[in-house]
């Protein structure tokens, strides 16, 4: 009798373990109760041109961000000309796969169309700015979960970046952008997004920017810490301090562009204007990367996710800047034509040690 009971208990425990493993075999299911797991996707992935990629996206991720196609140069190429084809498709893809869509991005100094860069008069530039936000945000009202309303408005020392927006519209352009976005798309969450805003000086600037928006009585819901970090140099202490500081302002925190770079470079951050000259010595793993380095990367990712889980009440989304290594922007920046390994899935879409290290936390 006792023996039967023992066997039944063992069987029940085995069943529970197997069920848990099956339930947690994907990122989106493993972290379902913690935060959304997102990926930035490119045009071909939005159009599901590759079946294996489409499956990877659907199974592993619960949120998507367009990597480029909602940026001004693509979506608003001429004064009266908008191109919504791919933006409409990403919204449809999100609906189909039950993934929320984060719009990236309404206001950014980079990837601006030529016509916008050539506007001379401040009044005309203000009209462009207003029309751009109104037209795009209102089109996706009720369909898009969140907007990166303003992207990368700060310098590393926390001062305002000398962008065309600052030059033509003055210091209040960030607040104004949030005011317009709120009006055009009232139900959508509105975020400020930047890289290195976990670093003390830039964080201070980011806090001032947020307070300015709040003091003006304008809604801001969250702050995105992009998370372009490098192997062995992930600033865990600064990230934790920043999560706490932004949360203390009443904001949601999200990690919006996560990757852990494996190749050398001589500066930090993600300013797309920074580049280095090509040199074969700076592309050491073109034919494959030693497993030890992938294990080190897995440790970095595990430490990060331990921190994210510790603050799961403050973090609402963790988005990777790409689904797999073959797609990453870090193969082309800051040096063109390199072979980088920054994400959780490899070039054959197979899970890497970093994937298993994260899943082992659940």
Q: Where do contacts with ligand G3I occur on this chain (CB under 6 A)?
A: 67-68, 110-111, 151, 195, 226, 257, 270, 272, 329
Smallest separation (angstroms) from ligand G3I to the CB of 195: 6
Cβ proximity of 355 and 56 under 8 Å: no
Instruction: Considering the complex, state which of residue 30 and residue 144 has its C-beta at the smaller distance from ligand G3I.
Output: 144
What six digits make up the tokens of 162?
Answer: 């000398």
Q: Is 176 a catalytic residue?
A: no
Nearest distance in Å: CB 25, ligand G3I: 28
Q: Which of 53, 67, 73, 152 is catalytic?
A: 152
Of 174, 148, 165, whose CA–CA distance to 109 is shortest? 165
Q: Which of 360, 112, 132, 104 is nearest to 254 (CA)?
A: 104
Q: Choose the catalytic residue: 53, 189, 257, 261.
A: 257
CB 270 to ligand G3I: min, Å:
4
Kindly tell me the burial class for residue 68, based on how many C-beta atoms sit within 10 Å of its own C-beta (0-12, 13-18, 19 or more). middle
By C-beta, is 35 or 108 nearer to ligand G3I?
108
CB of 332 to ligand G3I, least distance (A): 7
Least separation in angstroms between residue 263's CB and ligand G3I is 15
Comparing CB distances to ligand G3I, the nearer of 195 and 345 is 195
CB-wise, 255 or 357, nearer to ligand G3I?
Answer: 255
Residue nearest to ligand G3I (CB): 329
Helices (H), the chain: 2-23, 27-30, 43-46, 51-60, 72-75, 85-97, 114-117, 122-139, 164-169, 173-184, 200-215, 236-248, 291-310, 353-359
Q: List the structure tokens of 109.
A: 């100094």
Please check whether residue 150 is in contact with residue 107, taking contact to mean a CB–CB distance below 8 angstroms.
Answer: yes
Catalytic residue list contains 152: yes
Place of tokens 């082309």: 332
User: CA geometry: angle at 316 spanning 150 and 195, to 5°?
Assistant: 40
Nearer to ligand G3I, 29 or 68 (CB): 68
DSSP state of 330: G
> Catalytic site residues?
152, 257
């Amino acid at each position: 009798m006792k023996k039967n009971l023992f066997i039944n208990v063992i069987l029940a425990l085995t069943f529970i373990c197997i069920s848990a493993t099956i339930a947690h075999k994907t990122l989106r299911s493993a972290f379902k109760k913690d935060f959304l797991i997102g990926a930035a996707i490119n045009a071909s992935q939005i159009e599901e041109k590759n079946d294996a990629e489409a499956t990877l996206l659907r199974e592993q991720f619960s949120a998507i961000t367009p990597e480029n196609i909602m940026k001004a140069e693509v979506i608003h190429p001429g004064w009266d000309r908008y191109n919504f084809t791919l933006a409409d498709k990403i919204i449809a893809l999100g609906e189909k796969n039950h993934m929320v869509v984060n719009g990236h991005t309404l206001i950014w100094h980079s990837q601006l169309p030529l016509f916008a860069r050539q506007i001379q008069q401040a009044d005309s530039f203000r009209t462009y700015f207003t029309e751009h936000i109104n037209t795009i945000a209102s089109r996706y009202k009720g369909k898009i979960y969140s907007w990166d309303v303003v992207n990368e408005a700060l310098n590393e020392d926390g001062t305002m970046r000398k962008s065309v927006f600052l030059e033509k519209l003055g210091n209040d352009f960030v607040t104004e952008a949030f005011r317009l976005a709120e009006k055009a798309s009232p139900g959508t969450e509105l975020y400020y997004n930047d890289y290195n805003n976990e670093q003390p000086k830039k964080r201070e600037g980011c806090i001032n920017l947020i307070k300015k928006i709040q003091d003006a009585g304008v809604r801001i819901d969250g702050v995105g810490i992009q998370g372009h970090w490098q192997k062995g140099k992930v600033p865990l202490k600064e990230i934790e301090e920043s999560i706490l500081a932004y949360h203390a302002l009443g904001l949601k925190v999200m990690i919006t562009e996560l990757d852990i770079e494996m190749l050398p470079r001589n500066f930090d951050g993600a300013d797309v204007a920074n580049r280095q000259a090509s040199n074969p010595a700076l592309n050491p793993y073109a034919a494959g990367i030693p497993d030890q380095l992938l294990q080190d990367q897995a440790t970095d990712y595990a430490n990060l996710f331990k921190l994210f889980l510790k603050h799961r009440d403050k973090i609402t989304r963790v988005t990777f800047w790409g689904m797999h290594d073959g797609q990453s922007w870090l193969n082309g920046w800051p040096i063109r034509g390199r072979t980088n390994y920054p994400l959780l899935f490899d070039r054959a879409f197979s899970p890497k040690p970093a994937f298993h290290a994260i899943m082992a936390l659940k």
